[in-house]
């Protein structure tokens, strides 16, 4: 596809979606981007401020559960490319309230596929070329032991949380639309992302916020669980490669080749925050409740808490296929990506205070007691 595309980005006001919209509008300024987002607690228009003024950009406040809205957009905008991020994405929430995950992640994905089929395949006036790119997760593969090889695209699906099961179901639906209706689809399964605009319910931003506001750093279980971390812009680069070069009908794993135990991440984060406060005494004035503001070690806040139910022990991605076939390679090391993230969080207090002001607080107080 070389002509300018009309790209519908679902979930574009969320963490990865917003980073992707910024990335894509810089790389492909002649493409039109239409963001469709329900603005749940995780979606925030502030994430899109830097692209909002562009002529080739439109934001639609709408839900992928609303078939009429999707139909109207597909037809009215003559969409030829869908990049599907919209999802309920937090594992802990899926343990407490799985229904929203089935609605958005399964039914919502099916709604998009049905609309795409109607406008791209069943209609005589569909676009010359089309693509449905589905953004998925490594959690569909289940959990690994210490000596297991990393997940490849051939690893059998074994989702363990309601979130992972809902994403697995959506992956299968996307696959089936290729096989049954000939829809041009690609899927990427990615490991844990981190970076700017990540809602502070996920490990890294939550720990940074708690550390600078002097709150406990809750490490689940014994902290030995392992995740494979990827800087969000590297994920966007990977999706770009899949969209532009990936084989239609194929799935690609995207990862950082960067496994860390949770406790090591938290310890590293504490050291980096101590160093940041030592290097810049304005931080102490700005965040007076941080232990580091009083010369104490941030690690004093580490608190081991009750483990997550069904907590997957280890994820690791083998991205060989994306590397060899698409030339994908992450550009950030964990050190550089983490420093960018920490600096962004320290400079964007207004952002994280604002996004945490809403329903997230109510949900936390409803589902977690102080000693959980």
* Residues contributing to the site for ligand DAU (CB under 6 A): 89-91, 137-139, 191-192, 202-203, 206, 218-220, 225, 227, 262, 308, 315
Residue with smaller CB distance to ligand DAU, 79 or 254? 254
By CB under 6 A, name the one of 21, 51, 86, 283 that touches ligand NAD.
Answer: 86
| Overall size of the chain counted in residues | 372
Decide: is 165 part of the binding site for ligand NAD (CB under 6 A): no
Asked whether the beta carbons of 55 and 33 are under 8 A apart, the reply is: no
Candidate residues 7, 48, 87, 270; the one interacting with ligand NAD per rule CB under 6 A: 87
Can you tell me the distance from the alpha carbon of 287 to that of 268, in angstroms, rounded to the nearest whole number?
A: 19
Three-state SS for 153?
coil
Q: How far is the CB of 99 from ligand NAD (least distance, A)?
A: 12
CA distance 11 to 282: 36
The reply on whether position 104 binds ligand NAD by CB under 6 A is yes
If the CB atoms of residues 77 and 299 are measured against ligand DAU, the closer one turns out to be 299
In the list ligand DAU, ligand NAD, none, the entry touching 39 (Cβ below 5 to 8 angstroms by class) is ligand NAD
Residue 57 phi/psi, 5° resolution? -135, 140
- Residue 118 is classified by DSSP as I
262 binds, among ligand NAD, ligand DAU, none (CB under 5 to 8 A by kind): ligand DAU
Q: Is 65 in the site for ligand NAD (CB under 6 A)?
A: yes
Nearer of residues 289 and 372 to ligand DAU, judged by Cβ = 372
Beta-bridge mates of residue 231:
194
Active-site positions read: 138-139, 163
Residue 11 touches ligand NAD, criterion: CB under 6 A: yes
Q: Residue 69 or 253: which CB sits closer to ligand DAU?
A: 253
**Helix, strand, coil shares, percent, the chain, to 5:** 45, 15, 35
Report d(CA 74, CA 82) in Å as an integer: 10
Interaction between residue 15 and ligand NAD (CB under 6 A):
yes
Question: Which of ligand DAU, ligand NAD, none does residue 239 bind to, with CB < 5 to 8 Å depending on kind?
Answer: none
What is the CB neighbour count within 10 angstroms for residue 339? 15
Q: How are beta strands 251-254 and 185-190 bridged, if at all? A: parallel
Give the one entry of ligand NAD, ligand DAU, none that residue 91 binds, where binding means its C-beta sits below a cut-off of 5 to 8 angstroms depending on kind. ligand DAU
Residue 86, contacted partner among ligand NAD, ligand DAU, none, CB below 5-8 A by kind:
ligand NAD
Which distant-in-sequence residues (6+ apart) come within 8 Å of 289 by Cβ? Answer: 212, 213, 214
List contacts with ligand NAD (CB under 6 A): 10-11, 13-17, 37-40, 42-43, 63-65, 85-89, 104, 108, 135, 137, 167, 190, 192-193, 199
């Amino acid at each position: 596809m070389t002509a300018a595309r009309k790209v519908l980005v679902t979930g574009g006001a969320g963490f990865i979606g917003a980073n992707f919209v910024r990335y894509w509008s810089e790389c492909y300024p002649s493409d039109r981007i239409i963001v469709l987002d329900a603005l749940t607690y995780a979606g925030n228009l502030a994430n899109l401020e830097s692209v909002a003024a562009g002529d080739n950009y439109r934001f639609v406040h709408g839900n992928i559960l609303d078939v009429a809205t999707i139909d109207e957009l597909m037809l009215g905008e003559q969409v030829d490319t869908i990049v599907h991020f919209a999802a309920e994405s937090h594992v802990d929430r899926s343990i407490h309230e799985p229904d929203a995950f089935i609605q958005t992640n399964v039914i919502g994905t099916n709604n998009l596929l049905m609309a795409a089929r109607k406008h791209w395949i069943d209609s005589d006036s569909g676009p010359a070329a089309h693509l449905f790119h589905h953004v998925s997760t490594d959690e569909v593969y289940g959990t690994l032991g210490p000596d297991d090889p990393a997940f490849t695209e051939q690893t059998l699906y074994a989702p363990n949380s309601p979130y992972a099961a809902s994403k697995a179901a959506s992956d299968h639906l996307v696959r089936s639309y290729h096989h049954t209706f000939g829809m041009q689809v690609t899927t990427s399964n990615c490991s844990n992302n981190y970076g700017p605009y990540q809602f502070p319910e996920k490990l890294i931003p939550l720990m940074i916020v708690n550390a600078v506001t002097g709150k406990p750093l809750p490490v689940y279980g014994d902290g030995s669980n392992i995740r494979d971390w990827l800087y969000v812009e590297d994920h966007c680069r990977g999706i770009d490669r899949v969209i532009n070069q990936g084989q239609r009908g194929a799935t690609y794993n995207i990862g950082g080749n960067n496994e860390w135990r949770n406790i090591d991440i938290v310890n590293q984060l504490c050291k980096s925050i101590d160093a940041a406060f030592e290097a810049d005494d304005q931080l102490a004035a700005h965040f007076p409740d941080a232990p580091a503001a009083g010369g104490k070690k941030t690690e004093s806040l580490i608190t081991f808490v009750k483990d997550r139910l069904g907590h997957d022990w280890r994820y690791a991605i083998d991205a060989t296929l994306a590397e060899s076939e698409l030339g994908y390679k992450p550009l950030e090391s964990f050190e550089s990506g983490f420093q960018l993230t920490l600096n962004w969080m320290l400079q964007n207090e207004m952002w994280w205070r604002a996004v945490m002001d809403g329903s997230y607080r109510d949900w936390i107080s409803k589902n977690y007691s102080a000693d959980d």
